[in-house]
């Protein structure tokens, strides 16, 4: 059993075990990947303020996200085709999240269906909604989430059209993978992954295939987004969707103060400051750079959550100190899942929890709900001075 000390250790094993097509799918950003890179490098620019001789006993990372108790403010972000990173991936990740006491968010584009995840877990999970053109499908989707006792929905606003990731095109990404000479040759070297995959029947888009009229290539994520997603989505439609769900609604993909204010107007319960992990608009600012201004603009009126670029508990601490009330991890748990299944997701959560707790203590704080910008050293030009802003 390899020693796992940090998230990067899980990533190394993940790369070895999972077919290149799915590793590349997760470990890439759109176009030049500038935003993808800066999501992590901008975290490094913020430093932590060490304080000493503070009583560090009785520490806690417990808090609430949209009124739900969490053992630490780190939910699992919705990640499409997680069930291709590891057989039954969504079920395994949801189980790990449940045991750890953090929320799991299931993507619309998951392999395991809403019903499958619900029948294999007992804690309510959150459901992420992509808006498809088919209104009946949308109503049925919400009803299915309700029947499965999902306790919140997350509406993703930053993917009406799909940003291009060059590697996905070159690899011919699909679920299940198309059998080409290249993909078969690569999968033959990933026998552990393949054996698990042979033992499950869950290998395509569980939430949509059979529930919506087929698109021209139902195995392809890019075809689904191009043909079935609703490019007409606007704030009026968001309001309608908000009304379709009688529980908490979280709006995901907010990167601008003006949009954060609009989210307030439609009656959302929380927003996620996010650039989709650098997978949509390349050249957009890193999410951590815009978090401060958004918290300052709306943080007293709506719960502000954060994702994009978190690879450690220190990153979680920085986002919380900046004013977020909760965070999400995407790739950090996918590395764990691909590396070691459910145990790997648990490991990723343990690593992040330990880093969060220790760093908080060394900053002289004992309660995660109590951290603020006073523990951060933020470069003066961190938000950037832009001529037209
Ligand atoms: C995503 N993300 C995403 N978001 C969403 O709302 N629905 C989805 O289906 C997906 N799918 C998806 C697949 C993969 C492989 C990744 C890496 C990400 C975005 C995700 O929820 C989250 O915003 C980012 O992953 C956060 O960035 P980090 O933590 O991966 O840096």
Ligand 1 atom at shortest distance from the alpha carbon of 158? 6
pLDDT at 31 over 80: yes
pLDDT tens digits, 320-342: 999 999 999 999 999 999 999 99
Q: What is the crossing angle of helices 313-322 and 331-362, to 10°?
A: 70
Q: How many CB atoms lie within 10 A of CB 291?
A: 25
- Do 67 and 316 form a contact (C-beta atoms < 8 A)? no
What contacts 132, CB < 8 A, 6 or more positions away?
Answer: 138, 208, 212, 228, 229, 230
Ligand 1 atom at shortest distance from the alpha carbon of 154? 6
CA distances 138 to 209, 212, 228, 248, 333, Å, are: 14, 10, 11, 17, 28
Cα(366)–Cα(370) distance, integer angstroms: 8
Pocket flag, ligand 1, residue 24 (CB < 6 Å): no
Long-range pairs for 212-216 at CB < 8 Å and ≥24 separation?
212/132, 212/134, 212/137, 213/134
Pocket flag, ligand 1, residue 312 (CB < 6 Å): no
- What pLDDT score was predicted for residue 303? 98
Q: Specify the residue for token string 């307030």.
A: 264
**C-alpha 308 to ligand 1 mean position (Å):** 8
Q: How many CB atoms lie within 10 A of CB 28?
A: 17
Query: Structure pTM?
Result: 0.98
Ligand 1 atom at shortest distance from the alpha carbon of 307? 26
pLDDT above 90 coverage of the chain, percent: 92
pLDDT tens digits, 118-139: 999 999 999 999 998 989 999 9
Catalytic option among 68, 276, 305, 353: 276
Q: Mean pLDDT for the chain?
A: 96
- What pLDDT score was predicted for residue 170? 95
- What pLDDT score was predicted for residue 386? 87
Better-predicted residue by pLDDT, 62 or 220: 62
Helix (H, G, I), strand (E, B) or coil at 38: helix
Q: Domains of the chain, with CATH numbers?
A: 7-46+60-357 (3.20.20.70)
Segment 251-274 mean pLDDT: 97
DSSP-assigned letters across all residues of 45-56: HSEE----S---
pLDDT band at 116 (very low <50, low <70, confident <90, very high): very high
The dihedral through the CA atoms of 82, 18, 44, 357 has a sign that is positive
Segment 11-33 mean pLDDT: 98
- What pLDDT score was predicted for residue 221? 85
Better-predicted residue by pLDDT, 13 or 218: 13
Pocket flag, ligand 1, residue 127 (CB < 6 Å): no
Ligand 1 atom at shortest distance from the alpha carbon of 275? 23
**C-alpha 386 to ligand 1 mean position (Å):** 28
Residue nearest to atom 10 of ligand 1 (CA): 79
DSSP-assigned letters across all residues of 79-115: -TTHHHHSTTHHHHHHHHHHHHT--BEE-TT-SS-HH
- What pLDDT score was predicted for residue 32? 98
Pocket flag, ligand 1, residue 330 (CB < 6 Å): yes
Cα(309)–Cα(150) distance, integer angstroms: 26
Cα(148)–Cα(138) distance, integer angstroms: 15
Does residue 276 carry a catalytic annotation?
yes
**C-alpha 25 to ligand 1 mean position (Å):** 10
Number of H helices, E strands in the chain: 16, 12
**C-alpha 77 to ligand 1 mean position (Å):** 6
Mutational pocket test of ligand 1: of 8, 41, 79, the residue with most ligand atoms within 8 Å of the beta carbon: 79
DSSP-assigned letters across all residues of 142-177: HHHHHHTT--EEEEE-S-SSPPP-HHHHHHT--SSP
**C-alpha 79 to ligand 1 mean position (Å):** 5
Q: What is the dihedral of CA 367, 370, 375, 381, to 10 degrees?
A: 140
> What spatial distance separates the first Cα and last Cα of the chain, rounded to whole Å?
52
- What pLDDT score was predicted for residue 268? 97
């Amino acid at each position: 059993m390899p020693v796992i000390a940090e998230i990067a250790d899980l990533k190394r094993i993940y790369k070895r075990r999972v077919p290149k097509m799915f590793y590349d799918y997760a470990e890439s950003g759109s176009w030049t990947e500038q935003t993808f890179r800066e999501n992590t490098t901008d975290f490094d620019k913020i430093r932590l303020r060490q304080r000493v001789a503070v009583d560090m006993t009785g520490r806690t990372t417990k808090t609430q996200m949209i009124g739900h108790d969490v053992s630490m403010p780190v939910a699992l972000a919705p990640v499409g085709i997680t069930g291709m990173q590891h057989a039954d991936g969504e079920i395994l990740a949801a189980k790990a999240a449940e045991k750890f006491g953090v929320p799991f968010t299931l993507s619309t584009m998951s392999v395991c269906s809403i019903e499958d995840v619900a029948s294999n877990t007992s804690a309510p999970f959150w459901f992420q909604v992509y808006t498809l053109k088919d209104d009946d499908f949308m109503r049925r989707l919400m009803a299915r989430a309700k029947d499965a006792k999902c306790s919140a929905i997350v509406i993703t606003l930053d993917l009406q059209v799909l940003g291009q990731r060059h590697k996905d095109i070159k690899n011919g990404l699909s679920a299940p993978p198309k059998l080409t000479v290249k993909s078969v040759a690569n999968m033959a070297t990933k026998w552990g992954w393949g054996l698990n995959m042979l033992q499950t029947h869950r290998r395509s888009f569980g939430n949509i295939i059979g529930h919506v009229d087929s698109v021209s290539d139902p195995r392809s994520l890019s075809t689904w987004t191009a043909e079935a997603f609703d490019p007409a989505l606007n704030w009026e439609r968001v309001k309608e969707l908000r009304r379709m769900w009688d529980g908490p609604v979280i709006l995901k993909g907010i990167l601008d103060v003006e949009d954060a204010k609009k989210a307030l107007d439609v009656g959302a319960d929380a927003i996620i400051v996010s650039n989709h992990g650098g997978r949509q608009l390349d050249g957009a600012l890193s999410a951590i750079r815009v978090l401060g201004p958004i918290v300052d603009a709306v943080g007293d009126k709506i719960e502000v959550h954060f994702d994009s670029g978190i690879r450690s508990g220190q990153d979680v601490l920085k986002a919380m100190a900046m004013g977020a009330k909760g965070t999400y991890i995407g790739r950090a748990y996918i590395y764990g899942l691909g590396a070691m299944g459910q145990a790997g997701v648990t490991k990723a959560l343990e690593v992040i929890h330990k880093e969060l707790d220790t760093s908080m203590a060394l900053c002289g704080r004992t309660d995660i709900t109590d951290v603020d910008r006073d523990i951060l050293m933020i470069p003066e030009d961190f938000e950037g001075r832009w001529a037209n802003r």
